[in-house]
Structure 1
Amino acid sequence: MKPTLIAEMMAVLAAAPRIRAIQALVRAGAKGVSAGDLARRCGVAASTMSFHLTQMRSVGLVESRREGRTLYYVASLPTLEALGRAVMTGFCPALVPDFESTATFRDPAMAANDRNRPLNVLFLCSGNSARSQMAEAILTREGQGRFQAYSAGSHPRDTVHPQALAVLRRANLPIAGLRPKTWAAFGAPDAPMLDFVFTVCDEAAGEACPAWPGQPMTAHWGVPDPVAFAGTDAATAAVFNDTFRMLYNRISLFVSLPLASLDRLALKRRVDAIGAMARDPEATEAVEATAPA
């Protein structure tokens, strides 16, 4: 986890009501707590708690889900674990097992002379025009050379969506070379040996995919489709920003995993847990409410 993200999370937590809220959410588990109930438990006004929750959601410490008209908030345990580990690694490295080798995971069956190459990660969505392109660009930077990111689609569009490129430019992420590609190319005999394949849309997750070389670990990290949104330019930009934030949070957790100290089953549980993080219900609702029939 990058120092800037650690600093943002620590800054958000620098208030006693937020610490109490996180503790209450951890105790509540997956069922979550409504903002009003959480405000009563922490002894603050409901409007104040809503502000605190918005801040904690912005850095991925808290996720939410909608049931009817009520939002239930849940502590993001993968994010809290990654934050705790990152802090301990920086200040008390002797207490963190295998802290120096967190990016060297390899299936024991891999050839020994293949273990020093970057881990190849493929992000998939149906059109390969927005979500998977953003994920590729995010991992290219956040992976810091330890990961090689790719993206593809089952039915790739002609071009990358301009709003996706705009989001990446605002984040100073690389966009050179980004283009829609068919996922069939990554199932060819001369394709790169893949270590991880993540679907970021529900449509691609439900389709029959090629046989990937390398027997990669797979997981579903679905997020709402920003391309389906129909609204003003400002509203569309906000939806793409939401999508970027959700992908950034997941990828930041992924690159922070202690890969060398996890066996394959434990690592699978971790990447599945990242994908199971609650989606942004407000972004989902906006897409569903304004998308064309």
Structure 2
Amino acid sequence: MKTPEILFLCTGNSCRSILAEVTLNALAGAALHASSAGSHPAGYVHPRSVRLLQREGFSTEGLSSKSWDDLKITPDIVITVCASAAGETCPVYLGSAICAHWGVEDPAKATGTEAQIEAAFDTAYQILRYRIEAILHLPVAELLEKDPARLRQELARIGLLEP
């Protein structure tokens, strides 16, 4: 069975999708592989995202904000992480992948004190990590091959989970 490829997709690919990509790759080992991209990439990885990932003990070497036009793989699963409830336009992936939506507020848009902005990044990360830990309890490769409809349902259910 091949390693399932998961694409975390948002608009800017500077915060949430990067946090998800790095976290899944660090926690999943060889079971799953993640990448990230944006429909309108910011062109940089947000420095607060880099610091947060480093604080969590994850490597940030080679991270970049990428366009979905530059993908080198064809994903099996696409998870959008934009906050469509906040009026953010969520990109639509038109490939044949199983798609799910895990809405998370964009910490890059957070305002207020330093502590409030840091809290927004921590909250986004904690939500994503919680959902990623949930996906790691699924037999993703098996479901992808034998029961994609159930996998789609499970990914949608996970997208509603909060820590």
Q: State the TM bucket, normalised to the shorter chain.
A: 0.7 to 0.9
Is contact 1:124–1:204 with CA below 8 Å preserved after alignment?
no
Residue number in structure 1 paired with 2:149 = 265
Partner of 2:6, secondary structure, is strand
Unaligned runs of at least 5 residues, structure 2 = none
Deviations 1:195-254 (A, max 9, x none): 11000002353x344x43xx2111000111111111222221111011100000000001
Change (3 A) 1:140 1:208: closer
- From the superposition, tell whether residues 150 and 258 of structure 1 become closer, same or farther in structure 2 (CA, over 3 Å): same
User: What is the correspondence of 1:25-174 to structure 2 with a 5 Å cutoff?
Assistant: 115=1, 117-174=2-59
- Report the RMSD for the aligned CA atoms in angstroms: 1.7
SS in 2 for 1:193: coil
> SS state of the match for residue 24, structure 2?
helix
State whether structure 2 residue 160 is matched by structure 1 residue 276. yes
Match of 2:133? 252
Counterpart CA distance in 2 for 1:152 and 1:225 is: 15
Query: Whose helix fraction is larger, Structure 1's or Structure 2's?
Result: 1
2-side partners of 1:120 and 1:219: how far apart? 14
Counterpart Cα distance in 2 of 1:204 and 1:145: 33
State how far apart, in whole Å, the 2-side matches of 1:229 and 1:241 are: 12
Aligned residue for 1:194, secondary structure, equals coil
SS across alignment from 1:250: helix
| 2-structure distance, mates of 1:232, 1:276 | 28
The number of residue pairs the alignment matches comes to 156
Q: Distance in 2 between matches of 1:159 and 1:270?
A: 32
Work out the percentage of aligned pairs sharing the same amino acid: 35
Structure-2-length-normalised TM-score: 0.88
Q: Which has the higher contact order (CA 8 A, sep 6+)?
A: 2
Distance 2:104 2:153 in 1: 19
> Structure 2 counterpart of 1:257, which letter?
L
Secondary structure at the aligned position of 1:184 is classed as helix
Call closer, same or farther: CA 1:253–1:204 in 2, change over 3 Å.
farther
Q: Distance in 2 between matches of 1:160 and 1:192?
A: 21
Aligned residue for 1:176?
Answer: 61
195 and 173 in structure 1: CA distance in 2 versus 1, 3 angstrom threshold: same
TM-score, with length taken from structure 1? 0.50
Equivalent residue, structure 1, for 2:124: 243
